[in-house]
Amino acid sequence: MEGFGCEFDDSVFESFRERKAASGIKLGSYTAKLCEPRWFWGEICTADDVEKLTALKFRGDLAFKHQDYQKALCEYSSSLSLVPESNIALRRDLQEAQARCLCLLGRSDDALDIAQKLRSEITNTDHLTTVLNLDILIYRNAGNLFEELSCLQQLISMHTLNPWYWKKLAECYLGHAHALLSATVSVVPVCKDGRCLKMLEKSAMETATSETKGDCAQLQSFSRNPCGQVDCKRQINLIRNASRVENSGLTLKSRVVSSCSAVGDSTEVDLKRGQQLRDLWLFACSSFVRARLLLQMVKAQQASFVLERNLTVQEDIRQKLNNLELREEALNAISKVMAEDLLLDKFKNGAETEKPATFPSSSSLDCVTIESGSEFEQRWFKKLRNESFFCPIWK
């Protein structure tokens, strides 16, 4: 018995009839356009602006891949001049490419000008994420640890479940700690003259406050090796040695000042510097732990080279935490605190390995809270800093 409204139309069961072209014209087969390898590399002989724009952009991409950044910059600039005003997405993409080329050519100020222009035009969180990643690259290559740290904190305040951002944050904290140590060590040779004490006090006070960009500019040369990359192994060794001295009631600077027969308020400066070193150490460890926890949670959903990379990074983090020599109790407490917001239901629908997010893509900027500096550290590390058994926190 058929229910009302459930009958099938007879046309559903009719045999398939071959489509016929209108007016009796026979339809021809579609022939795809074939492009030779590097078809865009030769002379561009076309009046079509779209095809010319595409070829120039591809040229820039290939030159960038081959690390010919000057050539890439020229091609991107030529391509940008052909982009219509209505194509905002492509225009932003090319401007970002220009900024990356300028950054890698050592023209950080010009790159920052473009980044600032992009920032002034952001309308959603995707735009802001792109600009922050660009800023991080520029500041890292310029050696500006203070601004790099601020951008990473802002980025993580939006993408709290991204393990790669947390790992970068941990390395940035290590860079700050290394700069803090190196700034003091660098003035040791001048301790033989009568102005030694004054110079040391100024260096320590500037390092302890870090309130201006100028402070970080003075430290940047100590936080990079000649190749411009952070030497994490050396950082870990320096910070670990300084932390052991701090645990015994003296800092590295205390010993230097003591050797110069220093008197006065140096003890207060030493305590401030020792506390800052301890905080930087703790923040770095906590960020590494957070990154490892996030990688562990998505591991079951990964395979092939993605899983391989996950395991490789986890092992790298394990080794760095081992080198940092946290006590077992402290490491367990950090893991517990940094995992408080990690609920399994957030990962039921899958998680991206490179860019997981806690909100829908392209959401309004009003939907998120952007934090940096003390607000960020208060949110993520307040409980850890208040734990009584964190003194001492090292083995």
Would residue 232 count as lying in a domain?
yes
Pick the last residue of a domain from 142, 176, 210. 142
Cα separation of 310 and 319, whole Å?
Answer: 14
Same domain for 98 and 56:
yes
Tokens (6 digits) for 48: 């079509």
pLDDT of residue 29: 79
**Is 0.85 surpassed by the pTM of this model?**
no
Cα separation of 149 and 152, whole Å?
Answer: 5
Would residue 363 count as lying in a domain?
no
Instruction: For the chain, give percent helix, strand, coil, nearest 5.
Output: 65, 0, 30
Would residue 84 count as lying in a domain?
yes
Distance of CA 337 to the CA centre of its chain: 22
Same domain for 276 and 241:
yes
Q: Which domain holds residue 78?
A: 49-142
DSSP character for 60?
Answer: H
Q: Whole-angstrom distance between the N-terminal and C-terminal Cα of the chain? A: 81
Same domain for 384 and 330:
yes
Same domain for 126 and 260:
no
Would residue 282 count as lying in a domain?
yes
Would residue 36 count as lying in a domain?
no
Integer angstrom CA distances of residue 266 from 79, 209, 272, 364: 58, 15, 10, 49
Q: What is the number of alpha carbons within 13 Å of residue 239 lying toward its C-beta?
A: 34
Same domain for 131 and 250:
no
Same domain for 293 and 173:
yes
pLDDT of residue 88: 92
Same domain for 194 and 228:
yes
CATH number assigned to the domain comprising residue 93: 1.25.40.10
Same domain for 205 and 62:
no
Would residue 308 count as lying in a domain?
yes
Same domain for 135 and 235:
no
Same domain for 198 and 337:
yes
Would residue 298 count as lying in a domain?
yes
Full pLDDT tens readout for the chain, 395 residues = 555 556 666 665 665 555 555 555 667 778 887 777 777 777 776 677 788 888 899 899 999 999 999 999 999 999 999 999 899 999 999 999 999 999 999 999 999 999 999 999 998 899 999 999 999 999 999 999 999 999 999 999 999 999 999 999 999 999 999 888 876 544 333 333 333 333 333 333 333 333 333 333 333 333 333 333 444 455 555 555 554 444 433 333 343 334 333 334 556 666 777 788 888 989 999 999 999 999 999 999 999 999 999 999 999 999 999 888 878 888 888 999 999 988 755 545 444 444 443 444 456 666 677 888 889 999 999 888 775 445 445 55
Pick the last residue of a domain from 79, 110, 142. 142
Residue recorded with tokens 């110069």: 260
Same domain for 231 and 187:
yes
Would residue 315 count as lying in a domain?
yes
Same domain for 113 and 243:
no
Number of domains in the chain: 2
Cα separation of 260 and 246, whole Å?
Answer: 19
Pick the last residue of a domain from 108, 142, 176. 142
pLDDT of residue 182: 75
